[in-house]
Every structure is written in structure tokens, then in C-alpha cells.
Amino acid sequence: MPHLLIDGGRRLNGTVAIHGAKNAVLPLLAATLLADGESVLHNAPQLSDVEGCLEILSGFGCRTTQEGDTITVCADAADTPSITDELMRKMRSSIVFLGAMMARFGEAHLSYPGGCELGPRPIDLHLAAFRLMGAEIHEEGGQLHAFLPEGRFLGNTVSLSFPSVGATENILLAAVTAKGTTTILNAAREPEIIDLAAYLSACGARIHIDGGTITVEGVERLTACTHTVIPDRIEAATYMAAVAVTGGSAVLERLCPAHIATVLPVFAEMGCRISEFPQQIVLNAPARLNRIPFLRTMPYPGFPTDAAAPLLAAATVANGTSVFVESIFESRYKYVGELARMGAHIKIESRVAIVEGVPSLSGAAVDCTDLRGGAALVIAALAAEGRTVIGELTHLDRGYDHLEDTLTALGARVQRK
């Protein structure tokens, strides 16, 4: 199994070009199933999660190609409404295919996604919405069998008790070709949802978004289009944390500063100087970061849960004590035990992490426990004295396109062996 070897203590400087967003491209790939003709997605990141989605689409009978950062999908010959158990296990986020599968085939068969590294991953909101929209869903032996007795979803009003990102995407995908109008109340507002709606609208969907209310007037058919995936705001926050923790400076290009409007003030609070330009951010970090007095993760536009682990890693060597509260997922601190091996002082109490900044960390052998926890280990390793050996890289490869190349270009000593 490969490892990342990181020799820490080098100040990072330079330019980073941000890739397309993982969390945008996955639902976009699901959406391609609904359109006639060939969809072209530009700025698609090269990630194992994207490969997994392309395998799922191939399993349906779609024709797919991936060249550089461009993906094409033609779903015209798709005729198999199922996802194998192996692919479901590999990619828990594949549940976002459920709405599109049912809308396209009138039925869907897949295994229940079950739990994941972040704790239980219920899909009750997705299933309740589909039932409200006319679906019959049977769950037995860990398998889900879903049918649309009328062959189409039926528009309805769906009120979400929590603005779930995946449920909002799934309902949107179900609604665009439903019979009648669907209204989603308390919908998630993440930029990735806006991007999905933009692609669907360009394909002919009728979608109106007013804050947390999304109204979709169902249409008979969608026609494929060419779309450019939005930049990855979590990748941007990760590289900002990586540069900041080393006291470095960097220009981050090809990103959307508005999407990280609640992340930037945290870096400012830590003592970084930040200049914003239309698609660029310039970050200059102090020799030692200040603590983060209080950070609570929230649905968008609040502070993103996925950016908390990178910031927490940076806080391990900050001056003073930082407090983090995770309000989205039940179990998001598994990586903290690995940071402790490197000398970090962190106390966890349920969803609260108290991070007492130490003057320095030391390199150690650690394992990624999940995608963003893995990013936290990389950030800690960049700051640590000596060599850190990071294992279980499959987590990192799900979400960071050319991670080592990017860090190496910034002056880090990183090798994969």
C-alpha cells in the first residue's frame, strides 16, 4: 500500500490552481443520466470518486469518456437500472444516483449505503421525499428496490427537516422531469446545488431558486449540454490551511472567493493577510498563527463542515486554545487520534474539539481515517519537524486531484512510495 512521506518545516510559497469541485461533479454526473444526447463537463477533477461515478454510469449502459479535465457522457443507450453492491460500498455518495435512476428508468435497485467514516449516513429524508413524489420503495436485506407506478415522479411539496445537501440534489433530480410542480422547502443552498441547477436549466429544466425554496416545474425531456464545473471551495480552504500553517504565502487561482466567504474571516482571525480578486485570493500568513476562538460548522452559507478538519490541523500549532463545534455530522473527529501521535493537544467532548496550540509537532506514522481527516494529517505534517508517513491514502485520493504535485510546486517535500 502506498504512503505519503512528508518532510515538514518548509515554508510553502507559490501559486495553486484550484480544480473543479468534487461535490459538484458527482451530482452532475448523476444528472447526465436524464439528458438526451452527449453531455460535456469541463473542469472535472481527476479523482477516484469521479472514476467510481463513471463506472456506475457505464453499468447503466452509458457511454463515457474522460480526457484531462473533460468528461463526456451519453446516456441514450442506458437500460440497466441498478448499481452493484461493490460500487455502492466503494462510493457511499452514489446514493445521489437514486433520484436520477428512478426518473430515467422508472425503477432502481441498489444496496443500502449504510454507515461511513463520518458515522451513520441515513437516507430517510431522500426516501421520504421520493415516497411523497409517488415512489414505492422496499428495503430488504440491505437492498433498496424503488418503483414509480406511474412511470414518472409526481410533483409535490417536500419540506426538509434539515437542509440536507444530498437529499436536495436527489429531489431536484427527481423533480426536473416529474409530472407537475415540485417545491422543496428548507432546501440546502450549497454552491454545488446551484451548479447542478445551472446544468439542469441549461438542459431545459425549469427551476426557480429563492433562498431555501426551490420550485421545479417538471418538463417532458432534457437535452444534454456543455457545462463547466465550479471550483472546489474545500480544496481551496485546504491549500490555504496548508500554506498558512507553514507561515507561507500563496496565490490561489481559479476559485470563487464568494463561495468561501465564511472561511476567509477565519484565516484573517488567525493573523493571515488576505486579498480578494474576482477568481483569485492572495494569502500571506504570519510566522505563527493565532488561535481560532470559536468555530461552528453550519449548512451553507455557514462554515463548511468539510473545511473544519484542515483548519483544526492548522490550529494545533497556533498560539493559544481554539474551539471547534461540529454541528452537521455525528462523528467527525476520528483523525484527531492520529494528530495526537504527532504531538497535538486536543480534547474531544461529543461534537466539541478543544485544541491547545503547541509550539511544534513532530513527524510520526499516521493513517487517514477519512477524506478531510486525511487532509488534516497532510497539513499537520507540513508543519511538523521531521518526517511524517501517512497511510490509507485511498481516502485522500477520493477528493484531492494531484495533491503531491500541487504541494511540491509550493515547495513542500512530499513523495508517494
Does the footprint of ligand UD1 cover residue 162 (CB under 6 A)? Answer: yes
How many residues interact with ligand UD1 (rule CB under 6 A)? Answer: 19
User: What is the phi/psi pair of residue 18, to 5°?
Assistant: -80, 140
Which residues neighbour 107 within 8 Å (Cβ) at sequence distance 6 or greater? 81, 101, 145, 146, 147, 148
Select which of 74, 116, 203, 272 is catalytic: 116
Does the footprint of ligand UD1 cover residue 392 (CB under 6 A)? Answer: no
- Strand, coil or helix: what is 166? helix
Is the CB of 384 or the CB of 396 nearer to ligand UD1? 396
Distance between CA atoms of residues 65 and 72, nearest Å: 5
Of 31, 24, 299, 28, whose CA–CA distance to 161 is shortest? 299
Q: Which stretch binds ligand UD1 (CB under 6 A): 103-111, 163-171, 218-226, 353-361?
A: 163-171
Which residues neighbour 51 within 8 Å (Cβ) at sequence distance 6 or greater? none
Q: Which stretch binds ligand UD1 (CB under 6 A): 63-71, 157-165, 338-346, 354-362?
A: 157-165
Residue 116 annotated in active site? yes
Q: Which stretch binds ligand UD1 (CB under 6 A): 161-169, 240-248, 376-384, 400-408?
A: 161-169
What mask of x and - would describe binding to ligand UD1 in positions 322 to 341, judged by CB under 6 A? ------xx------------
Does the footprint of ligand UD1 cover residue 124 (CB under 6 A)? Answer: yes
Say which residue the cell 515547495 belongs to.
Answer: 411
CA–CA distances in Å: residue 239 to residues 149, 187, 249: 48, 29, 11
CB 301 within 8 A of CB 262: yes
Binding residue for ligand UD1, selected from 20, 113, 166, 357, defined by CB under 6 A: 166
**Grid cell listed for 39:** 453531455
Does the footprint of ligand UD1 cover residue 23 (CB under 6 A)? Answer: yes
**Grid cell listed for 160:** 426538509
Binding residue for ligand UD1, selected from 117, 232, 235, 306, defined by CB under 6 A: 306
Binding residue for ligand UD1, selected from 115, 122, 142, 286, defined by CB under 6 A: 122
Of 85, 79, 21, 25, whose CA–CA distance to 51 is shortest? 25
Does the footprint of ligand UD1 cover residue 167 (CB under 6 A)? Answer: yes
User: Smallest gap, in angstroms, from Cβ of residue 332 to ligand UD1?
Assistant: 9
Q: Is 67 exposed, middle or buried (0-12, 13-18, 19+ CB in 10 A)?
A: exposed
Does the footprint of ligand UD1 cover residue 309 (CB under 6 A)? Answer: no
Does the footprint of ligand UD1 cover residue 126 (CB under 6 A)? Answer: yes
Does the footprint of ligand UD1 cover residue 164 (CB under 6 A)? Answer: yes
User: Smallest gap, in angstroms, from Cβ of residue 53 to ligand UD1?
Assistant: 10
Does the footprint of ligand UD1 cover residue 291 (CB under 6 A)? Answer: no
Q: What is the dihedral of CA 218, 92, 112, 154, to 10 degrees?
A: 0
CA–CA distances in Å: residue 326 to residues 196, 219, 243, 286, 295: 26, 39, 24, 27, 9
Is the CB of 30 or the CB of 207 nearer to ligand UD1? 30
352 beta partners? 325, 349
Does the footprint of ligand UD1 cover residue 19 (CB under 6 A)? Answer: no
User: Smallest gap, in angstroms, from Cβ of residue 169 to ligand UD1?
Assistant: 7
Binding residue for ligand UD1, selected from 82, 93, 111, 177, defined by CB under 6 A: 93
Is the CB of 299 or the CB of 357 nearer to ligand UD1? 299
One DSSP character per residue, 37-61 reads SEEEEES----HHHHHHHHHHHHHT
Does the footprint of ligand UD1 cover residue 369 (CB under 6 A)? Answer: no
Q: Give the footprint of ligand UD1 on residues 180-239 (CB under 6 A).
A: 192
Binding site for ligand UD1 (CB under 6 A): 23, 26, 93, 121-126, 162, 164-167, 192, 305-306, 328-329
| Residues annotated as part of the active site | 116
